[in-house]
């Protein structure tokens, strides 16, 4: 079943759903620490959405519909290991397209594959990711697919923080990015659901502008 909702409706619904199932958690007064060392008022684990059938189904159908509209020539779906694998497989199934996935580095035994699944010369591929932060690891997958001869039409993700560095990185690699929801919609829905106060909203907005110095 395809989704006929508008882009804004999808963005709001996805943000609200991720908050409601705990896939996104907001703690501006008790921040998380990322592996990069950044202090962050937000933690996002979209894999949790897979445990909720209604949310999982909405996301897969929304991704499939947006990909159908934005990249009509798509011939295969590629998931980014590991979080993009289940989402990508679900979307490929809806679109009735071949599926493959790409590791962060070549396998250390067996065939030493970085790409698992069949990719053909000139094949038009859309990459699926669950979350976009800086885009660095996701774009390495694009490089691997291009080196294998694929034509990467673009990337689709569930959520993006909307960092300026991510926009720059995608522009540099000439990769079109579409996302179901983003940080601005998240703050709006969190406020509507009374998860955050107005003071929290100001703090959260300032984090997105300067995530490397926030909280210091």
Q: Give the annotated binding-site residues for 5-phospho-alpha-D-ribose 1-diphosphate.
A: 103, 107, 109, 129-137
**Binding-site residues from annotation:** 103, 107, 109, 129-137
Confirm if 74 and 145 have CB atoms less than 8 A apart: no
Other CB atoms within 10 A of residue 77 CB: 29
Longest dimension (CA), the chain: 54
Confirm if 31 and 215 have CB atoms less than 8 A apart: yes
Quote the CA–CA distance of 40 and 120 in Å, as a whole number.
Answer: 41
Question: Which residues is 80 bridged to in the sheet?
Answer: 102
Q: Which alpha helices (H) appear in 124-196, and where do they start and end?
A: 136-147, 164-172, 183-192
**Binding-site residues from annotation for orotate:** 133
């Amino acid at each position: 079943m395809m989704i006929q909702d508008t882009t804004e409706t999808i963005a709001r619904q996805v943000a609200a759903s991720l908050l409601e199932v705990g896939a996104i958690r907001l703690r501006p007064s008790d921040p998380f620490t990322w592996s990069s060392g950044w202090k962050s008022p937000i933690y996002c684990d979209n894999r949790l959405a897979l445990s909720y059938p209604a949310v999982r189904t909405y996301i897969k159908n929304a991704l499939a519909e947006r990909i159908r509209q934005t990249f009509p020539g798509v011939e295969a779906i590629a998931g980014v290991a590991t979080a993009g694998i289940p989402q990508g497989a679900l979307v490929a199934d809806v679109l009735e397209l071949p599926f493959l996935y790409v590791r962060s580095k070549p396998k250390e035994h067996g065939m030493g594959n970085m790409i698992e699944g069949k990719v053909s010369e000139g094949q038009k591929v859309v990459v699926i990711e669950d979350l976009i932060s800086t885009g660095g690891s996701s774009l390495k997958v694009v490089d691997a697919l291009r080196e294998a001869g694929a034509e990467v039409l673009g990337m689709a993700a569930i959520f993006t923080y909307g960092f300026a560095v991510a926009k720059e990185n995608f522009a540099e690699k000439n990769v079109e990015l579409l996302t179901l929801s983003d940080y601005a919609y998240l703050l709006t829905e969190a406020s509507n659901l009374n998860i955050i106060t107005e003071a929290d909203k100001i703090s959260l907005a300032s984090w997105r502008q300067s995530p490397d110095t926030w909280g210091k």
